[in-house]
């Protein structure tokens, strides 16, 4: 038996994902996205909701890393927003980070994060915190843990090496041709990581009708967790 999952960072109207982790989503953007997805007739045929809170409550911009999911397919049993700092249980900024950074988790398990753009130490320390969070799920018998987001780190950087060499993570797919500008990743780890089969992987365009709608490109993966 296998569990089929489609992970995508955005463009969820047409990519028809199972789960959609977003980064830097403001409250108004999240409202508009959910309204567009759920307006009748729903373009996906599903009813969408989300988990996740803002990284700095009460401030502007009120950005978050929400995970969007169809309510017909998932019933959240546990979720958490953790701040990438030495005090992850409350709003805080860690180490040499320029901004508050968070990670949102949901049991399939899917984790979504956005590492700091300014602080090298913040990125490195955040990798350690993400690993500790993932190991907590390992101890609960979860077969595979997925982690996606904007890591603000190039392939071969200390952050990516710590993830893949010493952290127990591996990239869902490692695309050589995309390496020069690559800072967005999908990782997986866990007891059944060898049983994670990638059926399809795609990096989508970021332009529509001559308009550049993002400085990032959506990363999409169709995966099956065997067993």
Query: What is the set of domains in the chain, with CATH numbers?
Result: 2-226 (3.60.10.10)
Average confidence (pLDDT) over 29-48: 82
Beta bridge partners of 102: 83
The pTM of the full predicted model, rounded to 2 decimals, is 0.71
Give ∠ CA 206-211-212 in degrees, rounded to 5. Answer: 40
Q: Does residue 107 surpass a pLDDT of 50?
A: no
Average pLDDT, the chain: 79
Instruction: Quote the strand ranges of the chain, DSSP E.
Output: 2-8, 20-21, 48-51, 67-70, 79-83, 102-106, 110-114, 145-150, 170-171, 184-189, 196-203, 207-208, 211-212, 219-226
């Amino acid at each position: 038996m296998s569990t089929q999952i489609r992970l995508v960072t955005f463009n969820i109207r047409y990519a028809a994902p199972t789960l959609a982790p977003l980064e830097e989503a403001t409250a108004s953007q999240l409202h508009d996205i959910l309204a567009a997805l759920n307006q009748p007739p729903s373009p996906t045929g599903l009813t969408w909701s989300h988990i996740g809170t803002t990284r700095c409550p009460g401030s502007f911009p009120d950005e978050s890393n929400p995970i969007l999911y169809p309510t017909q397919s998932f019933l959240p049993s546990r979720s958490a927003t953790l701040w990438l700092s030495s005090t992850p249980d409350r709003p805080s900024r860690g180490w040499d980070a320029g901004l508050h950074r968070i990670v949102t988790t949901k049991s399939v398990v899917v984790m979504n994060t956005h590492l700091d753009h300014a602080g090298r130490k913040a990125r490195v320390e955040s990798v350690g915190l993400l690993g500790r969070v993932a190991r907590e799920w390992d101890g609960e018998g979860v077969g595979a843990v997925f982690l996606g987001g904007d890591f603000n780190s190039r392939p071969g950087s200390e952050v990516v090496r710590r993830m893949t060499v010493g952290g127990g993570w591996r990239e869902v797919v490692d695309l050589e041709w995309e390496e020069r500008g690559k800072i967005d990743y999908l990782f997986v780890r866990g007891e059944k990581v060898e049983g994670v089969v990638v059926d399809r992987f795609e990096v989508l365009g970021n332009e529509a009708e001559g308009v550049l709608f993002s400085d990032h490109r959506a990363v999409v993966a169709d995966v099956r967790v065997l067993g």
